[in-house]
Amino acid sequence: MPGQDDYIQWPCLPPGGALNRWSHAITREHDFVAAKAMLYAAGVPDEHTMQNAPQVGIATVWWEGNPCNTHLMDLGKIVKKAVEKQNMLAWQFNTIGVSDGITMGSDAMRYSLQSREIIADSIETVTCAQRHDANISLPGCDKNMPGVIMAAARHNRPFLMIYGGTIRKGHSTLLNSDVNISTCLEARGAYTYGKLHAQCPKPNGDAATPADVLDDLERHSCPSVGACGGMYTANTMATAIEAMGLSLPGSSSYPATSPEKARECERAADAIKVCMERDIRPRDLLSRAAFENALVLTMVLGGSTNGVLHFLAMANSADVALTLDDIDRASNRTPFLADLQPSGRHMMEDLYDIGGTPSVLKMLIAAGLIDGSLMTVTGKTLAENCASWPSLDPGQKIIRPLDDPIKKTGHLRVLRGNLAPQGAVAKITGKEGLSFTGKARVFDKEHELDAALQRGDIKPEHGNLVLVVRYEGPRGGPGMPEQLTASAAIIGAGLKTVALITDGRYSGASHGFIVGHICPEAAVGGPIALVKDGDEIRIDATENRIDILNVDLDELRERKKSWRPPVTKPLRGTLAKYARLVGDASHGAVTDLAEPLESTNW
């Protein structure tokens, strides 16, 4: 498949051969004298290098204010040195990031999903404008990974991704247990409902109060750099992209501070040179079969609902036909095997200790669940990449045997019904049960529900409740904010008679009986906009349905007559632009949809 500017045809390969097929357009002879003058000023040492050395862009999603990203510049410098040892020019550049953990629960979270589009746009822009011959991208936080893959599919030049790596586990002395970022938010819910208690005294021997526990968690949940450590969205996307062959073996499971992560950065130069010499490009790897491999691994590992949005978005950029129905089929045929957080006990660091992602892939290839014949950025097949890795020890407790799964089918369920005629996505591990019926309690924004939970207004004695959070979709948010604050508070408070549904989305750290991505969203007049307090809602993960009971279509149409669309806020700036351009969640919430959306009438 062509890249953005492959319409330029050269009669023969440039002096540097296949390696500088793009940069040669501005470095040959004296056609672009200003470009060459600029490149000399940027550090090109001589005419021979100018004419012959390929130019590799190294894109870091670096900034200092987030542990997922703060180390990426240092990793990028390792990559730069390795590329230069291959007699190639290495140009570091940067793009933006948003910390989901820091923005969670506030209006700032609306900027998170749209950062994926900015990341893709900016890497595409620099790569194509500067005529780089290849790109190595280093993402960290969860929107980073799909953003760099979307860019790669657009520029379609030799590419590989280096995941910044997972954070190490934290430890709370007062709880006497390993902890992570999700522990903080769940503890906040327990604190509100009077259920947070220390297991150990403070170091000075005094009894620890619940506030002391929160202090301890804030100080120790994130002990190092690296992305959130469970099978949350960052690790979901990193493992899936490794399964698609776009990163080196082990990239997704090496901890950020491990020696292996630094060595991976050194090996990247060899790999990108292979891709350049053999003209292996992202669209060669982003095949339908590669997406199916990614979906299988995500179901096996218990990955994030955000993965659905990102798979659809990446497929759109690569012109691969992928729909919610494909995700549903993958879930129906794939067992859920991993005892990983948020629903399980272990972290990515634990998976790394037993062999990491390649060992899991090796097992799944042997079982016929993963196609190991697909090419990867190493120039070898996925099966060849995994062959030298250790097989999973039969005694390990993290990945269950295929004949003894946690759940026989996948945990991500695509639901439809009169509440979501164009689809919704649920994370149902089976531990919550497979169906839920309750009375609706409606909140027009997430902050309204967060405030109600902080007041302790949602009580077990209220019976089965379906908490409905709306006007938080891609347009309505705008930006489709994650709702981990609410979902974690519900878990921490032990509210087992509560389900949570939204046209927004959830963090990968969310668990419980939750449904998101309800489409059409409330902001465009979807049925979720018409739900009233007290309506009975049924969620059925066996029949894959979500319905308002005892309210027929005529009643919904009557309610819609009095519905008025909300005014989008803000009226200017990046969120306003995003709201005008973005498509719906069932198509990945992208701003450059390849085909126009069907009517949202229902």
The per-residue pLDDT for range 317-355, each reduced to its tens digit, is: 999 999 999 999 999 999 999 999 988 999 999 999 999
pLDDT by residue (tens digit) across 414-428? 999 999 999 999 988
309 and 175 co-located in one domain: no
Q: Mark whether 353 and 380 lie in a shared domain.
A: yes
For residue 601, being part of any structural domain is answered with no
Q: Does residue 484 belong to any structural domain of this protein? A: yes
Residues 162 and 191 in one domain: no
CATH number for position 504: 3.50.30.80
CA dihedral 281, 284, 285, 287 (to 10 degrees): 150
Asked if residue 254 and residue 157 are part of one domain, the reply reads: yes
Residue 287, class by beta-carbon neighbours within 10 Å (0-12 exposed, 13-18 middle, 19+ buried)? middle
- Residue tagged 């409606």 (tokens): 442
- In this model, does residue 10 exceed pLDDT 70? no
Task: Say yes or no: 540 and 461 in one domain.
Answer: yes
Q: CA-to-CA distance for 512 and 458, rounded, in angstroms?
A: 16
Q: Say whether both 327 and 462 belong to one domain.
A: no
Question: Do both 197 and 261 map to the same domain?
Answer: no
pLDDT higher than 70, residue 240: yes
Same domain membership, residue 300 and residue 214: no
| 395, part of any domain | no
CA–CA separation, 301 and 334 (whole Å): 10
Q: What is the share, in percent, of the chain residues with pLDDT greater than 70?
A: 96
Q: Which is nearest to 600 in space by CA: 476, 471, 421?
A: 421
Average pLDDT, the chain: 93
Distance CA 434, CA 200 (A): 37
Task: Give the C-alpha distances (Å, rounded to integers) separating 264 from 221, 319, 508.
Answer: 26, 30, 26
Do residues 261 and 344 both lie within one domain? yes
pLDDT tens for 210-236 read 999 999 999 999 999 999 999 999 999
- Please give the structure tokens belonging to residue 215: 């202090």
CATH code of the domain containing 299:
3.40.50.2300
3: in domain: no
Active site residue 599: no
Please determine, for residue 175, whether its predicted confidence score (pLDDT) is greater than 90.
yes
The predicted structure's pLDDT at residue 553: 85
Cα 283 off chain centre by? 20
pLDDT value, residue 3: 52
How confident is the model at residue 8, as a pLDDT? 43
Examine the domain organization and report whether 383 and 421 are in the same domain: no
Q: Is residue 13 assigned to a domain?
A: no
pLDDT of 556 strictly over 80: yes
Residue 407 domain-assigned (yes or no): no
**How many domains would you assign to the chain?**
4
pLDDT at 7 over 80: no
Q: Which of 172, 253, 258, 507 is catalytic?
A: 507
**Can you tell me the mean pLDDT for 46-68?**
96
Q: Are residues 193 and 251 in the same domain?
A: no
Please tell me whether residues 514 and 527 are part of one structural domain: yes
Residue 215 within any structural domain of the chain: yes
Task: Name the residue among 594, 591, 574 with its Cα closest to residue 582.
Answer: 591
Considering the domain boundaries, does residue 126 fall inside one?
Answer: yes
List the domain range (segments joined by +) for residue 195.
Answer: 170-220
Tokens read off for 468: 């409905």
